[in-house]
Structure 1
């Protein structure tokens, strides 16, 4: 199966209702990721065929859970996951990609330009030092840190009534047990990613 066929099959399974233009942006992003990864080591997954499920479809599994939000922060965005696929799927969302690694944010800025993502801003900063003018009603991370560290470092960035959406593999029982008392877990959802034979969970947390 070609990458495009795998992507289209996965998108149909996720039922996100993406347009042809959005699908082209996703394939364009995949091509950029593969090209830059040869030099910049953006992701450990180097097999282009695996990138469709491991990166694009996995990132897009977040999209159905972003309803109600207008500003999304992707902490430790790295190669742009899940922020760039989410921004492509939800052009109404304002998305900030935050990473302290200059090489990675150089790639992210180039990707934003080439993919014409007017709703995306790239910030090079450590998360604890980042002080935006406006806070975020949705904060996500895919491989940034354990849950306790994630919420402690981003506490100052969450808007009142906002939600944390942490993307995890197996059910993170131990990480949840170590969460600080200023947050509560509202739900832990098993996530099915087309083409990915691995456990995935989304941890939704709110400030008490």
Structure 2
């Protein structure tokens, strides 16, 4: 890992003792979460990290490529305060931080993002329901799921997600879903 990613992992470990921003307990577990976040990812487009907690998976991607147009959303003010503090300590340019229920931001950000990424926010259907509203038609949702996860197509009134590739990581799999063009 790069020095800034090591610093982030150390800060996440330090602050997780104050508030539970990640389920990981040891430095090694946090380091693995950071490494598992570093997937091959498009180098442009607007990205929303939905249910970000302590910044996973979005902050490692942003630290690796700070020109990404990244936004972080979590309903927990405490978690977002910790994320803001971590960003301040890393001395990097501030990405967009959104604190509150996801539905609160729909009037401004509906159909705004090219990608939604999420890890540990909940069941696939629950996350895709929220992702659909924020994604442009043709946008993709990248979901960090348990190792061996098998994605299925997902349909609701007004939108369809087709399951695409699964990217195996050390402790998880990243399932990629595409929102069908013209739906939503």
Category of TM-score, reference length = shorter chain? 0.7 to 0.9
Give the aligned partner of residue 14 of structure 1: none
RMSD, aligned CA: 2.2
Identify the structure with the greater strand proportion: 2
Q: Residues 189, 154 of structure 1: CA spacing in aligned structure 2 closer, same or farther, 3 A cutoff?
A: closer
1:41 is aligned to 2:17: no
Indicate which of 34, 58, 80 corresponds to 2:36: 58
Q: How many residues align?
A: 178
TM-score calculated relative to the size of structure 2: 0.85
Question: 2-side partners of 1:114 and 1:160: how far apart?
Answer: 36
> Matched residue of 1:151: which SS?
helix
In the alignment, is the contact (CA less than 8 A) between 2:53 and 2:80 conserved in 1?
yes
Once the two structures are superposed, the pairs formed by residues 10-159 of structure 1 within 5 Å of their partners are 23-53=2-32, 55-61=33-39, 64=40, 66-67=41-42, 69-118=44-93, 120-131=95-106, 132=108, 135-159=112-136
Gap regions ≥5 residues in structure 1: 1-6, 8-22
Residues 41-81 of structure 1 show CA distances to partners (whole Å, capped at 9, x for unaligned) of 2122111122211x1101112xx1x3164211000001110
Give the aligned partner of residue 174 of structure 2: 201
Question: 1-side partners of 2:30 and 2:62: how far apart?
Answer: 18
TM-score calculated relative to the size of structure 1: 0.76
Identify the structure with the greater helix proportion: 1
Question: 1-side partners of 2:71 and 2:77: how far apart?
Answer: 15
